[in-house]
Structure 1
Amino acid sequence: MPDQFELIARVRARSGTNLVRRLRREGDVPAVLYGGDKENVHIAINHDVLFHSLEKEEFHSAIIIINTDGNKEQAILRDVQRHPHKISILHADFQRIDEKKTLTMSLPIHFIGEQDCVGVRTSGGIISHLINDVEISCLPGDLPESIELDITHLDLNESLHLSDIKLPEGVSITTLMHDENNEHDYAVVSVLPPRIEVEPEEAVVEEEGLETDAEDSEKTTPDESADDKSRDG
């Protein structure tokens, strides 16, 4: 299970444009804590603390402790709204979790062995990432920090699929849970053949050859010119 984070929060008034603006001017981010068969709680979190937490990949898939005036509740990050032009956080949503209830989350896929990949090392292939994250289902206690996929032995023109991902115990990929016919066993990563580029010099030679052929076709031979004069006479 990923490391836990703790965010200090304070209860805020439920709504109000002026209040939200004042919170942001004071350096806080308005947020909501919901779910778990409890009422929604509108909270405020220090902007800089939340901003730097979001810079850590593991924060997005971690169990987060929301400490509201000494009342600690476990939650996961569900949504973040960022300013379209400024480097700032506008709003955040946190969902309470129940240790006995299954949750679903989207986790990043970490590709292992890219530098040693057979298709790249021996054939100059190009690795193509087709899926970068995957939705999983598990109990909160089994929640992994990320999902790993080893591509060391992947050869040229080969692919690895969702079913090739080795999952920790108690973790399932939601797409495959009821996929009896493997219709949704999508490819995750492939090794493609290297791109063949035409050298600039070769291209110039080809163009010169075309120009020469065109000039030759426009020229007439001496015999052709003599025949034309005799017909004119």
Structure 2
Amino acid sequence: MSEHKITATSRKDEGKGASRRLRRAGQVPAIVYGGRAEPLSIQVEHERTWLLSQQEWFYSSILELEVDGKAQKVLLRDMQRHPYKQRIMHLDFQRVSADEAIRMSVPLRFLDVEKSPAGKTAGVVVMHELTQIEVSCLPGNLPAFIAVDLSGLQPGDTIHLSKVQLPAGVEVPELKLGPDHDVAVVVARFARAEAEEPAATPAAEAAPAAGAAAEGKGE
């Protein structure tokens, strides 16, 4: 499990007007909810939070949120961005408890494809059908990412969700819904051969003959 710290302060002013004032002051309005405490309106510094938002772990790790000097563990549950500016408009954080399972989307990292038979075979394309999967686990077991070993991938192989090796204490809820949910994660397929050039049409073949007949009449 990876932990990263974010500093925030509580706020009492709410509403659109208060949020606009916060943003003009370089702050981001946010809320933290869940657990055994009441929802709390907070604010975080925009510039630092924007830099954190560029990191993969920001979306898939347990975060340590310090509000007015008191730390609590949270997950980022929602981020609202400006339609075209590099600006975060609002954040939602959810408190987590050590003894309560959580659901979280975790990124996949594909390893050693270049060492695999599929990776060494000309004309084979390795497709990543998924780049992240939703897992369920206790907060202490949440992985920052899940590694998918592709070193043994053969041309024509398909790796399904059920074949992804999960860390201890981690499961994929989707697999409990039945075989139809055991979707492909990686596919090694042969690229399609270039389409053959279309054969000449009968009309095109007949054109020279028609021209030759016309020349014969002129003679």
Same fold per superposition (TM over 0.5): yes
| Residue pair 1:154, 1:191 contacting (<8 A) in 2 also | yes
Larger Rg: 1
CA drift at 1:210: 6.8
* Identity between Structure 1 and Structure 2 (%): 34
Q: RMSD between aligned alpha carbons?
A: 2.3
Describe the shift of the 1:66–1:213 C-alpha distance in structure 2 as closer, same or farther (beyond 3 A).
same
Match for residue 206 of structure 2 among 189, 192, 214: 214
Partner residue, 2:117: 118
Count of matched residue positions in the alignment of Structure 1 and Structure 2:
216
Q: Can you list the C-alpha shifts for 1:6-62, whole angstroms capped at 9, x where unaligned? A: 111111125222211110011000000000021000000000111111111012111
Describe the shift of the 1:14–1:157 C-alpha distance in structure 2 as closer, same or farther (beyond 3 A).
farther
Partner residue, 1:229: none
TM-score scaled to structure 2, two decimals? 0.90
Q: Distance in 2 between matches of 1:183 and 1:85?
A: 38
SS of the residue 1:115 aligns to: helix
Partner residue, 2:85: 86
Moved more, 84-93 or 117-126: 117-126
| Residue pair 1:119, 1:154 contacting (<8 A) in 2 also | yes
After the TM superposition, which residues 22-171 of structure 1 pair with which residues of structure 2 at under 5 Å, given as runs? 22-171=21-170
CA drift at 1:195: 3.0
CA drift at 1:220: 6.2
Q: Can you list the C-alpha shifts for 1:159-183, whole angstroms capped at 9, x where unaligned? A: 000111111100001111x24x523
SS of the residue 1:20 aligns to: helix
CA drift at 1:124: 2.2
SS of the residue 1:145 aligns to: coil
Identify unmatched segments of 5+ residues in structure 1: 226-233
SS of the residue 1:175 aligns to: helix
Identify unmatched segments of 5+ residues in structure 2: none
| Residue pair 2:31, 2:91 contacting (<8 A) in 1 also | yes
TM-score scaled to structure 1, two decimals? 0.85
